[in-house]
Amino acid sequence: MNCVSYFFMNRDWGKIVLPATSTLATFITFGYAVTGGKFSGFGNYDIVAGAISLIAAGAWWYFQKDGLANLILQIAVTASFVPTFIGTWNNPTNESCLPWFFWTSAYIFLLASVLRRRKSWMDFIYPSNCLVLHATVGLLALR
């Protein structure tokens, strides 16, 4: 929903490549975790993120505002990172910093694209949020 609301918010195919790639990677990772990896079920933060996502969907449907839905979804995305923050803080070897910095650099490029083709200040929220979240995990993994 994050990817779709971001696209409808700015209607720019160039800015949707990274969100679409991220969405695809998320589905692949989830599928792997459920079928052959380690899936420990849904925790409290997952439930919170899911509830916030439902609120975003309801707000999008009711108010017909793509940007509002995307803003609300950034809260859900942030909530979904909390377990990773906690796990990496407690044990930095849980995560390798390289993939997190790879995604961080991708969001830097998306921000550069937004700078060149922005329609609204709201275009910056999604990539800025994801840049900070991914960089934070990468930095925690370096500890």
- Is residue 36 over pLDDT 90? no
Query: For residue range 65-98, what is the model confidence (pLDDT) as tens digits?
Result: 999 999 999 999 999 999 999 999 999 999 999 9
pLDDT band at 117 (very low <50, low <70, confident <90, very high): confident
pLDDT at 13: 85
Three-class HEC string of the chain? CHHHHHHHHHCCHHHCHHHHHHHHHHHHHHHHHHHCCCCCCCCHHHHHHHHHHHHHHHHHHHHCCHHHHHHHHHHHHHHHHHHHHHHHHHCHHHCCHHHHHHHHHHHHHHHHHHHHHCCCHHHHHHHHHHHHHHHHHHHHHHC
Query: For residue range 44-66, what is the model confidence (pLDDT) as tens digits?
Result: 999 999 999 999 999 999 999 99
